[in-house]
């Protein structure tokens, strides 16, 4: 261990530009997701496996072509996995390990940190969508509807799930978040119209359509299967986004 030359530690403090901080933090967030085996299982492998399995094995009876039914549902599942479950768990443990507190003592503003997390989520979602659509097309998927409408629904769904994920991960301890986020993921997978048509649940379906997962899967399915944009689904997602993000900004704790 060498000694310090005189003047080597002379003060010269200055923050980097927000753009430079955003780039660095986004890269770090992406590296963390892509290196985490559980996150990859959740965001990539399970959705892909479900898509291929459900398309090939007639375990669930659906109307119309199987692949046309399942691609939109699995897309909704993928968005939920990344924006809600993955974000909640990562945020919960970041807090538990004191990472957010540590970053709070650097020039990185909280707004830039949250923006970086958002960009990382969007980047992962882009990979998911490309992957799932490619596999879907290879399996004979025939999408309809507008591209812009699809992007709008995915954006609203991301905002809704991210708000809820940050609310969960920002208020509960890491392990509790892990348990709750996985449980919610499983329940919404079953009740959110991802693999089972909501009509299977009879009268309860009238309530289930207000779940964010159901709104996203139904919205994407109506658009991509029949070409019709369901305004109610978009409004349900918007309402969840407003509620979730407001609650998160109200109750989120950094440590």
Partner 1 sequence: MTSAALEVCDLVKRYGKRTAVDGLSFTAAAGQVTALLGPNGAGKTTTIEVAEGFRDPDGGAVRVLGLDPRDQAVKHRVGVMPQTGGGYPGLRAGELLRLVASFHRDPHSPADLLERLGLSEVERIPFRRLSGGQQQRLSLAMAVVGRPELVFLDEPTAGLDPQARRATWDLVHALRRDGVSVLLTTHLMDEAEQLADHVVVVDHGRLVTEGTVHALTAHGAAGQLRFTAPPGLDLDALAAALPPACRLSAVGGSYLVEGPAGPQLLADVANWCAANDVVARDLQVETRTLEDVFLDLTGRELRT
How far apart CA 8 and CA 43 sit, in angstroms, is 46
Considering only 49, 53, 64, 107, the residue that binds partner 1 (CB under 8 A) is: 107
Question: Residue 162 contacts by C-beta under 8 Å, 6 or more apart in sequence?
Answer: 83, 84, 87, 118, 121, 244, 245
Residue 58 binds to partner 1 (criterion: CB under 8 A) = no
For residues 47 and 128, the answer to whether their CB atoms sit within 8 Å is yes
Residue 32 binds to partner 1 (criterion: CB under 8 A) = yes
How far apart CA 176 and CA 191 sit, in angstroms, is 22
DSSP 226: I
Question: Within a 13 Å sphere around the CA of 15, how many CA atoms are in the beta-carbon half?
Answer: 11
Q: How far is CA 175 from the centre of its chain?
A: 19
Residue 246 binds to partner 1 (criterion: CB under 8 A) = no
Residue 4 binds to partner 1 (criterion: CB under 8 A) = yes
Considering only 56, 64, 97, 246, the residue that binds partner 1 (CB under 8 A) is: 97
# chain residues binding partner 1, by CB under 8 A: 40
CB nearer partner 1, residue 98 or residue 227:
98
Residue 104 binds to partner 1 (criterion: CB under 8 A) = yes
How far apart CA 223 and CA 212 sit, in angstroms, is 16
Residue 106 binds to partner 1 (criterion: CB under 8 A) = yes
Residue 251 binds to partner 1 (criterion: CB under 8 A) = no
Residue 114 binds to partner 1 (criterion: CB under 8 A) = no
Interacting residues with partner 1 (CB under 8 A)? 1-4, 6-17, 20-21, 23-25, 28, 31-32, 35-36, 93-94, 97-99, 101-102, 104-109, 255
């Amino acid at each position: 261990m060498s000694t310090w030359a005189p003047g080597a530690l002379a003060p010269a403090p200055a923050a980097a530009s927000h753009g430079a901080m955003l780039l660095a933090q986004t890269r770090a967030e992406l590296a963390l997701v892509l290196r985490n085996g559980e996150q990859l299982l959740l965001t990539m492998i399970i959705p892909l496996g479900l898509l291929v399995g459900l398309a090939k094995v007639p375990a669930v009876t659906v109307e119309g072509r199987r692949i046309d039914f399942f691609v939109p549902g699995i897309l909704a599942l993928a968005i939920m996995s990344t924006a809600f479950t993955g974000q909640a768990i990562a945020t919960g443990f970041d807090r538990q390990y004191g990472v957010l507190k540590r970053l709070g003592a650097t020039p990185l503003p909280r707004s830039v940190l949250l923006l970086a997390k958002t960009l990382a989520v969007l980047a992962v979602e882009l990979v998911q969508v490309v992957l799932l659509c490619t596999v879907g097309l290879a399996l004979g998927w025939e999408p309809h509807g507008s591209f812009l409408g699809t992007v709008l629904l995915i954006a609203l769904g991301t905002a809704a799930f991210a708000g809820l994920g940050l609310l969960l991960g920002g208020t509960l301890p890491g392990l509790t978040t892990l348990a709750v986020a996985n449980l919610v993921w499983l329940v919404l997978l079953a009740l959110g119209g991802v693999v089972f048509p909501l009509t299977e649940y009879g009268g309860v379906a009238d309530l289930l359509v207000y779940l964010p997962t159901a709104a996203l899967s139904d919205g994407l399915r109506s658009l991509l299967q029949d070409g019709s944009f369901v305004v109610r689904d978009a409004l349900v997602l918007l309402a969840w986004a407003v509620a979730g993000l407001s609650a998160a900004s109200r109750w989120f704790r950094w440590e």
